[in-house]
Structure 1
């Protein structure tokens, strides 16, 4: 049966029964459903169980639609309470549990207190499962204590006392009884006064205080007879009969037991009558229950599907966000990488410009060195030689040995020697005439002395010649490295080794000096290494420097050889 038809049928039944409900079939709001639930509870307290159940069922349907756990728990509690009053304890138990499930999702501690207490009643007095009943009573007591409801505290402690005494655990129940005796007058209820007197009688019977026990039992029976609580009066006669039997008063014990049996029979008959009266109601209500439970299940299914869909949508959104973040991250990395490449490119260009500047400066220096050496040798030295010849001719013709002329000849010879030495230093004669290897051998020999010895090892024929420019550059690179050894290493021996390998010239320079820390090499001044590296880079070669403190230094150079294109003539004439 569709949801709308069920609602219309329920409304028709309620109106037919004289109960006013909503005039239209539109789903009511929360306030209207709350009012309907209150009306159902009111009908239950008035004993109109049929009307209460129909109203509470309808309220439950709307509460489920509103997804309001508090309203759902309240209506379940009312439905359960109706069945509890009709002695349908299994149904009451079922709905109390459903109500507690929803109540636990709310902050309604008052409702939690009621439901836990009612479950405790069913466990203790119907199912006879006292441990579970005591558990729920204690839960109820926690909530009533939390809400500071003194009347509920007294009521729950009364139930706890009864449960403990019913299974003979008097010492555990006595603290609760003591609390009730102290606070019942102020916070208790007249409906519980019979039970309180009976419990006091039971405790004093347990303590063998017959006088007090008899007083409380008789008081409980008197108050029960004056009131309408047949159930409490029945229990009072039963407990009093056990007390009398225990103390040997068998006649009165049997008399009270007979009254208990009579009252119990009346209560059972009333219960059967109630069940007969509500049999038709139960059939109708069971039909509504199935339909409404179906609606509830449909709502749960839809809610579950909605939650699943929301979960899928949430996952999709998270995946999209993660993908966007991933692509943004990739874009950022790409952008930063491009910037880094651009910066590195600029650095490379700047480095190349700097390298080109250094190379141009070095090439310029070497060209100037060559030009100056050539100019000094070919011009200044020649002029000085010519001046000396003319002076010698003059002295021979005039047969004079004037002191001034002798000094002039000496000055001219000294100037000629110095210019020649300077010229050879700028461009060694051996390098120009005989090549790199003879020049290096001569360089090692000249730099050797009593302090340091330079050993020269070569596995290439000494007469081998390379490109003149290549030889000149390699000569001055090696000369600068040997000068560094002399100036900075404090070495006593150094080895210069030269060999060819795959059209490359391999040069090793090793000394036994004090060495240095290569990690701090950049702070060492005066080595001229940057210019040496620049020269080697200009020749497309490599240089590696290995050094340790007090263990000497090894410099390894490898440069591609530039061979002679044609035979060159010496730059200088022999002297």
Structure 2
């Protein structure tokens, strides 16, 4: 087979992988979709085909978008756009720019950036004369302008949408278009038309499957009714909005983690360790007292039993040395257990805080923003202070959500250790350093949840050390499973160090990692020399998923 034929076959295979990945994503099978997308990306990079690379990155980003991992989605969408801009494929450019606009407007609430990408998308859809894409992009721009209160800029887009919707739109946009018309006529003080379109939005929303659109329609209708002083009907729609929103939140709520019992066990474990330490200190004190008495007796009979005293002295000295060494070993094990219990407690607190932020603080911020919006609408108060307060509440809500994800990575919980580590290497790679990830274990392999979290944070700390201290430009992470043990190799080409240095590192550093691996009955080994890089080998018994 010729080189040209091989390349052509590989291109067809890569396109097929991307199409399968897209279909899996639409069926909400995100794990398999991401696996196929990454396979397609590797082949596209090998082919040096910018269009296929851009398409693969876009599919990866779309999966993270569906999983509400918006920072990751943004990262991969931007990568997709870099490669798409190197091609003549205006369809692809239109698609990616529109996705970026969605992220900035509806997830990050950075409307100026979102509108910029929407308008870029509109340029490309106009170039390819895709009337359907033009319609949907103008619909998105209209939403963005409504969200930031720039109603005067909406009319040209809304007129186009109303004119061509029947020809190019579909049933999924009926609720949105009716809401837009209702909101615009409310702004224009045309109450009759506003009533008409809001009622149509509610009616079409009840027939559709997308409950979030119906929820939003009730919310916007309630604002208009408050404005018109139709308070009873306004409260009915507001209650409908709250009920639908609660149902939607319940469907997406993550399983809460009951850490109270675990924390209690940790506290009991610490108390047990303290008791053991106290017991050994008491034994040591008793031994010293006995030894002192024996020395005193020896001095009294020294003239008669000099030889016996010498042998007795050597015997007790040897016994003391053994006891001291034994005590040091016990104290070392106690210290390791204290470190492990402390770090386990920190991890449990991570879960508890992440759950609390997601399920309580974030919900309260959203509720506060909604009530402030209703108050300003009811009192026709559009002061700058209230507008800024609403913006601050929304921004705080998204920062709390991002903090929750950073405390407990959702990718680790959803797809497992190996997929999360693969993504961690890719996210940490940049123009200064590249992390190469390889594993003999399938990304789909799952272990016990606590075991996965422990190994993830240990490896994450090792990668952070390389980034912050090694001055390396290349590093690799390799994992394999042998005889029910996980073998981990972390290696870099950085400045290295003297092995005895890591004993003095404070915090969750190498010394603490070693202590933790020891309590897991594992092995921890460091190979390093100045200017010759560092290699860290870890062998940890696997705690399999029940």
TM-score, length basis structure 2: 0.48
* Structure whose alpha-carbon radius of gyration is higher: 1
